[in-house]
């Protein structure tokens, strides 16, 4: 004789409708599926400086931190438009672009630095132009409102000049480089790979690059302030994953460059080109970020210079804007 279990015997003795009610109640008490993790969308351009965040994604550092990031490839203007419209939560950009974009109804802040340019940006010029002062009266191609505009303005000011002293030709950085190679302008403010192409042209040479302006051109991670308030823990995890990515790159540079080149893609998809371009920047690890964002540190100096520069160009929409209004170092933590 087979012995029935206690639970089975009891169910057989109960009326059918009672059994159904009990079973439904049991199902309702079971834990449901975990809610889908919200995605943190971050817009980016193709640039070597952002590599370790993609490395952090591919090596699982972001996932291990418990944050779900989606990278969206976009140019600078569409990036800021998408950020303001709530289509993305954050973006990667240079710190100098921020003062032009912030407005009373669109508050943003940089939470960490990715890298600074130490040769990745610069000016290619005809060989007979050997100093910045010799750009006087020459046709210079650069993109208005961009980091190229910012760099050129800084160099002109250093040499006692202003934009009125040159013939400005407004072009995107790649187009500016191509125009110089084609001999259509006397000089171009651009970045890699066009610096290399420009100085390799028969008539061209590298007039100056960003190694002469350390700490001026710095890539940063930017979020809307409402995102920082509502999802600050996720932002902190992204920053932590970035620092893990940088440390992994330090330990395994060849493997990391291969992964980053493939992930960043575009003209940097070839690991050899990625590694060559990498020599023109410096990644910010935890210590560098803590120093850069320290009170009175480089972030505040560069940020304030950018505010003052763009204010003189009539491009700052908030009167009395200060560097501290666009910087939030509270997310940099071990």
Q: According to the model, what pLDDT value does residue 35 have?
A: 52
Give the CATH number for residue 298. 3.40.190.10
**Per-residue model confidence as pLDDT tens digits over 30-86:** 554 445 679 999 999 999 999 999 999 999 999 999 999 999 999 888 999 999 999
pLDDT tens per residue, range 299-312: 999 999 999 999 99
Whether residue 180 contacts residue 188, with contact meaning beta carbons closer than 8 Å, is answered with yes
Which of 212, 235, 255 terminates a domain? The answer is 212
What percentage of the chain exceeds 70 in pLDDT?
89
Determine the pLDDT at residue 77: 84
Q: Kindly state whether residue 8 falls inside one of the protein's structural domains.
A: no
CA–chain centroid gap for 209, Å, is 21
Least confident of 22-26, 144-148, 329-333: 22-26
Per-residue pLDDT tens digits for 218-245: 999 999 999 999 999 999 999 999 999 9
For 178, the 3-state DSSP assignment is helix
Q: Is residue 207 part of a domain?
A: yes
- As a whole-number percent, the residues of the chain with pLDDT over 90 amount to 85
| Cα gap 132→123, rounded to integer Å | 9
Q: Which among 162, 183, 212 is the end of a domain?
A: 212
- Assigned token pair, 38: 């919200």
Using alpha carbons, list the distances in angstroms from residue 174 to 41, 75, 154, 196. Answer: 26, 12, 21, 12
Number of domain units in the chain? 2
Last residue within a domain, chosen from 194, 212, 230: 212
Alpha helices by DSSP H, listed for 159-297, are 173-181, 194-200, 225-230, 232-251, 253-264, 271-278, 286-292
Residue 159 domain flag: yes
Which residues are within 8 A (CB) of 59 and not within 5 positions of it... i.e. 6 or more apart? Answer: 245, 248, 259
Domain span at 203: 121-212
pLDDT of residue 19: 44
- pLDDT tens-digit readout, 176-219: 999 999 999 999 999 988 999 999 999 999 999 999 999 999 99
Work out the mean pLDDT of the chain and round it to a whole number. 91
Question: Per-residue confidence at 15, pLDDT binned at 50, 70, 90?
Answer: low
pLDDT at 9: 33
Tell me: the pLDDT tens digits for 122-132?
Answer: 999 999 999 99
Mean pLDDT computed over 254-262: 98
Q: Tell me what pLDDT residue 76 has.
A: 82
Structure confidence at residue 75 (pLDDT): 85
pLDDT in tens, 76-118: 889 999 999 999 999 999 999 999 999 999 999 999 999 999 9
């Amino acid at each position: 004789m087979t012995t029935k279990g206690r639970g089975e015997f009891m169910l057989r003795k109960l009326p059918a409708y009672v059994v159904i009610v009990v079973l439904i109640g049991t199902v309702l008490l079971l834990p449901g599926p975990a809610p889908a993790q919200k995605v943190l969308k971050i817009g980016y351009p193709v640039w070597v400086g952002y590599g370790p965040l993609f490395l952090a994604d591919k090596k699982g550092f972001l996932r291990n931190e418990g944050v779900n990031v989606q990278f969206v490839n976009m140019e600078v203007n569409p990036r800021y438009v998408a950020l303001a419209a709530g289509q993305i939560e954050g973006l990667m950009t240079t710190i100098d672009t921020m003062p032009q974009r912030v407005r009373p109804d669109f508050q943003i802040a940089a939470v960490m630095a990715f890298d600074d340019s130490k040769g990745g940006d610069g000016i290619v010029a005809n060989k007979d132009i050997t100093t910045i002062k010799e750009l006087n009266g020459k046709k210079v191609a650069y993109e208005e409102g961009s980091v190229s505009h910012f760099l050129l303005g800084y160099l002109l000011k250093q040499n006692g000049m202003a934009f009125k002293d040159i013939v400005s030709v407004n072009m995107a950085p790649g187009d500016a480089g191509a125009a110089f190679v084609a001999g259509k302008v006397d000089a171009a403010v651009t970045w890699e790979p066009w610096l290399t192409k420009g100085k390799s042209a028969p008539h061209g040479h590298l007039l100056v690059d960003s190694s002469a302006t350390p700490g001026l051109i710095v890539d940063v991670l930017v979020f809307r302030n409402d995102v920082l308030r509502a999802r600050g823990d996720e932002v902190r995890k992204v920053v932590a994953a970035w620092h893990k990515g940088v440390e992994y790159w330090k330990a395994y540079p060849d493997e990391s460059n291969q992964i980053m080149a493939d992930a960043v893609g575009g003209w940097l998809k070839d690991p050899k080109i990625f590694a060559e371009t990498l020599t023109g920047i410096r990644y910010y690890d935890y210590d560098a970020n803590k120093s850069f964002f320290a009170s009175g540190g480089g972030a505040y100096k560069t940020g304030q210079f950018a505010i003052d520069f763009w204010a003189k160009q009539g491009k700052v929409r908030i009167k009395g804007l200060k560097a501290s209004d666009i910087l939030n170092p509270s997310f940099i933590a071990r």
